[in-house]
Amino acid sequence: MAKGIWVVVEQRDLQIRKVSLELLSQGRKIADETGESLVAVILGQGIEGLAQTVSANGADKVILVEDEKLAEYTTGAYTSVLNKLIRKEEPQVVLTGNTAVGKDLFPRLAQRLGVGLASDCTGIEVDSSSFMVFKRPIYAGKAFEFVSSTVRPILATIRPNTFALGTPDAGRTAEVVKETADIDAGDLRAILKEVAIAASKRPELTEANIIVSGGRGMKGPENYVILEALADVIGAAVGASRAAVDAGWKEQKFQVGQTGKTVSPTLYIACGISGAIQHLAGMGSSKFIVAINKDPEANIFNVADYGIVGDLFDVVPILTEEFKKIVG
């Protein structure tokens, strides 16, 4: 009998990533529906305090693996530990976020386990024959495929912002199990020399609830301050089109689209962006799209829920003032 639904919880500097909490919240629902238990697995150093957070967010059981070699994520060490743990405990399903870590870790883990992997999923359906069916965007969101696994465990990475956060219940308690890290020497061949996290008070693009994005219509790098002012009023992230990135106005990491980040925020505000198919590929699954563009024919208006035909340099500063009134 396979045991449980696992969520591999991602933490950085002892902060649990939002997508991990989203997965615990959804995992709780699936566990209740299928009668499975929900297990949170956390790797790192000094992580004991996180057990409480994950149990408040729905876990029945927490597996903690503490080791100084796990303090920072590395492909090898994390694969080594999870592979052994999964072989020992035989969970039905192992989920994690489709983050930089998830995308690097789960393919290697799946290959070592000799199983499949449903990557970058935007939906999970419980299914009587295959246990779970995963929905995944293909062709940059221009189609979806539904996949199921013929073997166990089932591995999947889930796109951030797919599932809603639950309300933590501080009264919940979970069984906490500590496992020792048994890392094969062969898994330590790539050496992490340095982690550089850009200091930013804004949320990460792929996790953000609201994104304000600027394209070629911004005219130059100096003008992004008006988008940043707007973003900071509503706690948004700032993004850019490829035209703006290729012009050197914004760094690559801000690019949204086919060759940039795929985002699905609740609200995407596109300023001076024409709405090329490759841009829409990265943000077309946003819940609400706002377009501010001076060209009434711009393609972005064909997908926007709310559009303003106008000069962004006039509209955005006023919008910022209006948002201030609303959020106080």
Cβ(220)–Cβ(229) below 8 Å: no
Pull the structure tokens for residue 231: 């973003």
Judged by CB under 8 A, the number of residues near another protein is 92
Task: Show the site string, 244-283: x = touches another protein by CB under 8 A, - = not.
Answer: --------xx-x--xxx-----xx---------xx--x--
What distance in Å separates the CA atoms of residue 136 and residue 140, rounded to the nearest whole number? 10
Does 164 help bind another protein (rule: CB under 8 A)?
A: no
219 in the Ramachandran plot: left (φ > 0), alpha (ψ -120 to 50) or beta? left
Partner whose binding site includes residue 126, from ligand FAD, another protein, none (CB under 5 to 8 Å by kind): none
Provide φ and ψ at 82, rounded to 5°.
Answer: -70, -40
What is the closest distance, in whole angstroms, from the C-beta atom of residue 86 to ligand FAD in the complex? Answer: 35
- Taking CA atoms, 122 is separated from 41, 91, 134, 152, in Å, by 22, 21, 8, 21
Q: Cα Rg for the chain, rounded, in angstroms?
A: 21
Q: Per CB under 6 A, does 319 bind ligand FAD?
A: no
What number of other Cβ atoms are within 10 A of residue 227's Cβ?
23
Applying CB under 6 A, the site for ligand FAD has a residue count of 28
DSSP string of 154-172, one letter each residue: EEEEE-TTSS------TT-
215 binds, among ligand FAD, another protein, none (CB under 5 to 8 A by kind): ligand FAD
Residue 219, Cβ neighbours under 10 Å: how many? Answer: 14
Interface residue with another protein among 114, 128, 171, 225 (CB under 8 A) is: 114
Residues from 210 through 249 that contact ligand FAD (CB under 6 A): 215-217, 241-244
Q: Does 282 bind ligand FAD (CB under 6 A)?
A: yes
Query: What SS3 class is residue 44?
Result: strand
> Considering only residues 3, 29, 84, 112, which one is a binding residue for another protein as defined by CB under 8 A?
112
Strand partners, 70: none
Residue closer to ligand FAD by CB (options 79, 255) is 255
Of 1 and 327, the one with the shorter C-beta distance to another protein is: 327
CB of 96 to ligand FAD, least distance (A): 25
Between 16 and 271, CB nearer to ligand FAD: 271
Residues in region 134-163 near another protein by CB under 8 A: 136-151
- Write out the residues near ligand FAD by the rule CB under 6 A: 215-217, 241-244, 255-260, 272-274, 276, 278-279, 282, 292-295, 298, 311-313
